[in-house]
Structures are given as C-alpha cells and as structure tokens.
C-alpha cells in the first residue's frame, strides 16, 4: 500500500518510554489535523499497546519495541507496534475483556481499548517470537 509519509522508532521496553511513544505518534499524526478527541483516542491506543510490550513481552528484563507510523491515502493513520518478546500462548483468550497475565493491578482491557479507539485493529503473536499490533485510524477531513 502506498503511503504519503512515515516514521519509525525503536526503543527499550522501559516504562519511561511509553509517554515518549504516545507523544511521538501524536506529533506525527498532527499533520492530518486531527480533532482533540481523535488525538486522544490515538494516544490512548498507542499507550495501551506499548504498555503491553513493557509489562507482558519482556517480563524478566528489557527488550526492544519497534514502532512504525504511516500516513495512507484518505487520511488514514497506520500504526504498527512490535516486540520480540515471549509472545502470547492463547491469543483468543488474551483478547477477551478482563483477561490478564499481569497481576491484580492490571485491568485486562488493553486490547479492548485499542480496538474500540481504532478504525481497524489486528494482533498477531507467536510464542517465543513476539507480538505485533497493527492499528489504523481514519481521521475526518476538516474544511
């Protein structure tokens, strides 16, 4: 698929980088002139995806998180967040609301939140190889 612009980042799975990733995507998305609501939805979805990498993909140490954003035709923001961590054994179960492997302090709503804020949402994972979250958000053209 042809794109109009793109950016790629790679950073360690430190919790301090969640805010960095969220802000970087918001800055990149600004060229599409999103509403504050659209921008908030995008920031939240990215935050959830990166937090999942930090908490679940690398439970015993630091790893690498890759982030790619593209501007596609028709005002579509395309976001891919990828880790090379432990992967997800049972993806169907992991996508169910309230399911978590992160302990009592985790809500288990990350995938549900990401899906609700995006136009399209897909997650793929291979145990021992990592997880990829692919999200798209079509933004309204403002006059």
Catalytic residues: 48, 52, 106
Going by C-alpha positions, the residue among 57, 126, 113 that lies closest to residue 85 is 57
Q: d(Cα 47, Cα 93) in Å, to the nearest integer?
A: 21
Which tokens is 118 given? 């995006």
Residues 6+ apart with CB under 8 A from 122: 133, 134, 135
Cα–Cα distance measured from residue 74 to residue 87, given in angstroms and rounded to the nearest whole number: 33
CA distance 5 to 131: 24
Instruction: Give the Å distances, CA to CA, from 43 to 56, 65, 87, 143.
Output: 20, 16, 23, 23
């Amino acid at each position: 698929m042809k794109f109009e612009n793109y950016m790629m980042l790679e950073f360690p799975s430190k919790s301090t980088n969640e805010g960095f990733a969220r802000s970087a995507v918001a800055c990149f998305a600004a060229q599409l002139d999103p509403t504050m609501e659209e921008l908030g939805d995008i920031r939240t979805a990215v935050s959830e995806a990166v937090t999942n990498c930090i908490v679940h993909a690398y439970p015993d140490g630091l790893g690498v998180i890759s982030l790619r954003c593209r501007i596609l035709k028709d005002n579509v923001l395309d976001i891919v967040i990828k880790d090379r961590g432990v992967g997800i054994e049972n993806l169907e179960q992991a996508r169910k609301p309230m399911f978590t492997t992160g302990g009592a302090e985790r809500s288990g709503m990350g995938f549900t939140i990401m899906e609700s804020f995006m136009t399209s949402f897909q997650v793929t994972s291979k145990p021992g190889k990592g997880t990829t979250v692919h999200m798209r958000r079509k933004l309204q053209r403002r006059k």
